[in-house]
Each structure stands twice: as C-alpha cells, then as structure tokens.
C-alpha cells in the first residue's frame, strides 16, 4: 500500500551511522516495493561537507555494504536524496537551512508536508527542536502549509528527571500527536504477532491469565560485546540501554488487555495500563529482585574475549552493568501473583530475543515420570529474533509399551513461508509514520511510567556502593546469581547449548 501523502523526510544526522546502516536500506526497500509516495524526497542534514551528489555517493556505499545493493541498482532511489550542510545552532545556519529546504519543497511540490527524524546524539534533540520551532517548521504556516511529524530515537532521557525535561521540551514545540518515539523492537514482525497470537486465537486468550500461566520469561541476549561504543555505553548500561525500553515494551505487548479497537489510541492506552500496574520495586527486597553483572575476560575455543573494563574508552574501575535480570509482578486482575522474569546482557553465547510463556502443571500428576520436572509444563515460545517464529511445547507419548512422555515442539517459522520477505523493523515503522499510524510508537506518558519503574534501581546502584556487581565470563549466560531469581520457577531457558565461539542461530 502506498503512503498517500507526498512529503519530505528530513533526517538530522543524515551522514551518520544509523542513517547509513538502517534508515536508508529501509527506505530503499520501501522504494523497491513501491510503498513510498509518488512525490517524495529524503533530505539528509549534517555537519559533513557534502553536496547532493557526494551525499548520494555516500549513501550508495552504505547500500552496497549493508544491503548488498550495487550502485547501478539504486540510482533511481538515490535521485530522491538531497543534502543540506548545517550546524543548525546559529540563526544564520538555521535561516540557510530553511531556505534550502524551501527550494526542495518547491521543486518537488510536497506542499510543506515534513517528517523530521532525529538520528543524532540525544544532546542535540533540544537545540534541533528549538530551531524547528523558531523556523515555524513545527506547525502549518503560509510558507509550509502541510502537516509536520517528529520521529525521536531512543534514549528518551536517562532517568525520570531527564525524561520529563525532554518531554516538556518536545511538547512545548510539537503536539503529542505529532511525536513518534521509535523503538525498533516494536517494528519486528514477531513482536507484532504477539497481538495476533493472543487476540485472534481462541485457544490462547482464555488461558492468558493467572489461572493457567505459571510465569513469564523474556530474554534479549547479545553475542557481541560493546565494540566501539564504550564512550556511550559506559554512561548507559544494560538497564537503560535495553531493559527500560525494549524489554518493558515486550512486557506490555505480552501483558496488555485486548484493545477496544485496533488503532493507535486504543493500543497505547492498554500499554499504559500495564505500566500503571507494575508493582513498585521494594528497596528492602531489591537484591532479591535484581541481579546486575559485568562480563569478565575469558577464552572460548582458544580465542581471548576481553573483559568489559579492558574495552576501548572504559575506565578500569567502571561499575557499569552489561547484564541485568529482574523479577517483578503486575498487580491487576489478569496477572495477580504471576512473576515476570526479564534479562538482557552482552557477550552472551548467542544473539536471541524471545518470550517464554510457561503454563501451570496439570493438577493431578497421572504421568509421574515427568510431572515434577520443568519439561512437563507446556510452554509457548515467541521468537522475536533471529529465526522468527512461534513454538508450542507439549507432551506426547513415547512410542512403545507403557506411558512414558517426552516433550516435543509444534513450530511455526516465517522462514518456512515461501515468497515471504520480512520487512525490517525500520521499514515497517517508517512506513507507519508516513501513514500517520502511531500504534507501534511509544507515547510520552508510557515513557514516564517506564522510567518511574526502574528509577529505584538506578538510585540504589548510585547510592549504595555495596550493591553487588557480579562478574560473568564473556561467552557465558551471565552471573550464576541470576538463577536465584527463579528459585521455585525452574531454570532460565537456554535456547542454545554447546555453542562454539561463532554462536549461530538457535532452534526454537
């Protein structure tokens, strides 16, 4: 389906890494699938000294590297791309930016319809938004009469106070309905399939509550360390970088009530209710609910893996966490008493993100050989990445004499569907914004509640130097102390075992 309204997508940070690796490949795919408006342009804005032609060459290099698209195949798309060099700080620079944008708008006749994408360091969000306000590019005006939308990349602050400050600044220039806070996890096909699995299939929805579900476990494991992101990561850590946003959004999709209608307001209202129902973390029990870790040096298949404190730009005494696991509860009618376990970490054995719904055991253990084990519980496994799909684990009789039971999987994998090309997360989310559909974007009030939930952890870590920071060997599944969180609820699910240093995909 084409995005109807002609418009210009203005990318601040247009010469940056995210633009080259993710945004331009996603936009190229939309172009290739004829899902862009017939009248459309991309305007990159950055400090680099480039013109339109050199910018197109820069993007062509990125498409060949990150999308395997040779330059001769991307020419038509690249002709949609323009470049404005701008510091966007001084009045003179802002005025020049407006004039150049106006020229492009008049040339292709987009009537002042703009999406502004903040693909920059968070420190530039406020000055850019202020500049857009000064130039009246946040509203419909005589010179730019069309609609205006603003896409904001995470992080949305680094704690409650900074998130609130950013929110106040954003809404002082843009209405909440104009703001699209992007979380690429919500653009993943299987994340959206959570809603279909739950609310379309009558075999699941009646069981999706405290009466039948034993516990919920969500894992987001990354095989790589921090790479060259040390300068950013050491001021962030796993809690801010992953848990507060990506994982809590997956919690919301898993736990929300059915929306009244499948539109942005209804869906995001239900997400908000989940965050409103999160049981506040008790400082007295925090050590029994939260485990933080940091990867240490190890050898895997003879290959040396650095410790976190040996990485580039990381202080030797850093206490930044590269792993965090959390146990918590949602206090509402559906989930009362059901524990949620979430964990994320770097330098784990493989790259995998999945949600595991573990159902309660049968009330009377007829088949005693397996009734007492974790394996005897039915599980629904929703794989977000990689090898996207869904598996249902259930017991079957082992052929032969007697009634011995083994667990088997009923699998669905997107990769097995012929002729299906899964859109990237950014492809889906960019297209939704072009359509004016904010269903999969985060609302400001939900961001605030998510920060309020994790703020006690941040405060305790900052104020209590004795709060444990456990080491775990790079390439392992994290600190062994994380197992204590699940006492009484079985082991964490380890989807990939006996991996070598190459890791690889995990079967469902």
Contacts of 388 (CB under 8 A, 6+ apart): 188, 189, 190, 413, 414, 415, 422
10 closest CA partner among 174, 156, 151: 151
* Catalytic annotation present for 246: yes
**How far apart are the C-alpha atoms of 322 and 325, rounded to whole Å?**
11
216 closest CA partner among 506, 497, 486: 486
The residues pairing with 473 across neighbouring beta strands, listed in sequence order, are 296
Cβ neighbours of 481 (radius 10 Å): 15
Q: What's the Cα-to-Cα distance from 279 to each of 21, 42, 219, 449, 474, rounded to whole Å? A: 38, 44, 20, 12, 33
If residue 182 lies in a helix (H) or strand (E), which one and from where to where? Answer: strand 179-182
Contact 374, 366 (CB under 8 A): no
DSSP codes of every residue in 259-328:
PSSSSHHHHHHHHHHHHHHBPPPPGGGHHHHEEEEEEE-EEETTEEE--GGGSTT--TT----SEEEEEE
State the first-to-last Cα distance of the chain, in angstroms, to the nearest integer: 32
Catalytic residue, candidates 7, 246, 299, 431: 246
b/e 77-106 (16+ beta carbons within 10 angstroms → b): bbebbbbbbbebeeeeebebbbebbeebbe
- Please list the active-site residues: 246
């Amino acid at each position: 389906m084409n995005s109807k309204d002609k418009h210009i997508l203005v990318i601040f940070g247009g010469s940056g890494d995210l633009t080259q690796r993710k945004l331009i490949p996603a936009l190229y795919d939309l172009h290739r699938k004829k899902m862009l408006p017939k009248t459309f342009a991309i305007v990159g804005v950055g400090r680099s000294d480039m013109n339109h032609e050199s910018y197109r060459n820069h993007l062509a290099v990125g498409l060949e590297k990150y999308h395997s698209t040779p330059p001769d195949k991307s020419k038509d798309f690249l002709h949609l791309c323009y470049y404005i060099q701008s510091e966007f700080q001084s009045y003179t620079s802002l005025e020049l930016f407006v004039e150049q944008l106006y020229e492009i708008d008049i040339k292709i006749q987009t009537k002042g319809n703009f999406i502004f994408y903040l693909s920059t360091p968070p420190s530039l969000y406020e000055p850019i938004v202020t500049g857009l306000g000064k130039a009246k590019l946040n509203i419909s005006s005589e010179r730019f009469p069309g609609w205006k939308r603003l896409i904001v990349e995470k992080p949305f602050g680094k704690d409650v106070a900074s998130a609130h400050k950013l929110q106040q600044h954003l809404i002082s220039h843009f209405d909440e309905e104009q703001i699209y806070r992007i979380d690429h996890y919500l653009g993943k096909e299987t994340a959206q399939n959570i809603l279909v699995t739950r609310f379309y299939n009558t075999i699941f929805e009646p069981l999706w509550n405290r009466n039948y579900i034993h516990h919920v476990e969500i894992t987001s494991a990354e095989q790589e360390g921090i790479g060259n992101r040390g300068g950013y990561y050491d001021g962030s850590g796993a809690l801010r970088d992953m848990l507060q946003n990506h994982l809590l959004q997956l919690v919301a999709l898993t736990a929300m009530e059915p929306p009244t209608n499948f539109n942005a307001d209804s869906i995001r209202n239900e997400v908000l209710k989940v965050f409103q129902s999160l049981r506040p973390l008790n400082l007295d029990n925090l050590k029994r609910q939260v485990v933080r870790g940091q990867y240490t040096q190890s050898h895997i298949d003879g290959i040396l893996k650095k410790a976190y404190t040996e990485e580039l730009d990381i202080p030797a005494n850093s206490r930044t966490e590269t792993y965090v696991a959390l146990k918590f509860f949602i206090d509402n009618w559906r989930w009362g008493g059901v524990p949620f376990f979430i964990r994320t970490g770097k330098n784990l054995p493989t790259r995998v993100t999945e949600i595991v719904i573990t159902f309660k055991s049968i009330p009377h253990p007829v088949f005693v050989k397996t009734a007492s084990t974790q394996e005897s519980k039915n599980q629904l496994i929703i794989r977000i990445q990689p090898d996207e799909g869904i598996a249902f684990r259930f017991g079957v009789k082992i052929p032969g004499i007697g009634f011995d039971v083994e667990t088997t999987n009923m699998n669905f994998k997107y990769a097995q569907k012929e002729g299906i090309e899964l859109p990237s997360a950014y492809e889906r989310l960019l297209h939704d914004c072009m359509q004016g559909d904010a269903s999969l974007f985060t609302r400001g009030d939900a961001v605030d509640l998510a920060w309020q939930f994790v703020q006690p952890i941040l405060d305790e870590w900052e104020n209590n130097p004795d709060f444990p920071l456990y080491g775990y060997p790079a390439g392992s599944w994290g600190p062994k102390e994380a197992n204590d969180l699940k006492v009484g609820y079985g082991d964490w699910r380890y989807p990939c075992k006996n991996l070598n240093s190459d890791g690889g995909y995990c079967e469902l």
